[in-house]
Amino acid sequence: MTALRKVAVVCGTRPEAIKLAPVILEFRRRSREFETRVVVTAQHRELLDQVLRVFEIETDDDLDIMREGQTPFEITVRTLEGLRPVFERERPDLVVCQGDTTTTFAAALAAFYLKIRVAHVEAGLRSGDKLHPFPEEVDRRLTSVIADYHFAPTTASRDNLLAEGVSPEAVFVTGNTVIDALLIASDMPGPSPAADIAADARVLLVTAHRRENWGAPMEGIMQAVVDIADAASDVQVIMSVHPNPRVRETVERVLAGHPRIRIIESVDYVPFVKLMKRASIILTDSGGIQEEAPSLGVPVLVLRTVTERPEGVAAGTVRVVGVDRADIVASALELLTDPAAYERMAHAANPYGDGHAAQRIVDTLARALG
Segment 292-326, tens digit of pLDDT: 988 899 999 999 999 999 999 999 999 999 999 99
Mean pLDDT to the nearest integer, 193-214: 93
CA-to-CA separations, 70 to 47, 51, 244, in angstroms, rounded? 16, 21, 10
How much is the pTM? 0.87
pLDDT in tens, 175-199: 999 999 999 998 898 888 899 999 9
Which residues participate in catalysis according to the annotation?
100, 122, 136, 209, 211, 242
pLDDT at 1 over 80: no
pLDDT at residue 69, rounded to an integer: 87
Distance CA(259)–CA(91), nearest Å, equals 56
Distance CA(103)–CA(47), nearest Å, equals 15
pLDDT at 286 over 60: yes
pLDDT in tens, 102-145: 999 999 999 999 999 999 999 999 999 999 999 999 999 999 99
pLDDT at residue 192, rounded to an integer: 87
Residue type, 108: A
CB 136 within 8 A of CB 101: yes
At 119 the three-state DSSP class reads strand
Mean pLDDT to the nearest integer, 215-229: 97
Comparing CA positions, the residue from 369, 368, 360 lying closest to residue 175 is 360
Strand order in the sheet with 149-152: 61-62, 34-40, 5-11, 94-98, 117-121, 149-152, 171-173
Phi, psi of 145 (to 5 degrees): -65, -35
pLDDT at residue 349, rounded to an integer: 78
Measured from the Cβ of residue 26, the count of other Cβ atoms closer than 10 Å reads: 22
- Domains in the chain, please, with CATH? 5-176+353-369 (3.40.50.2000), 202-346 (3.40.50.2000)
CB 220 within 8 A of CB 325: yes
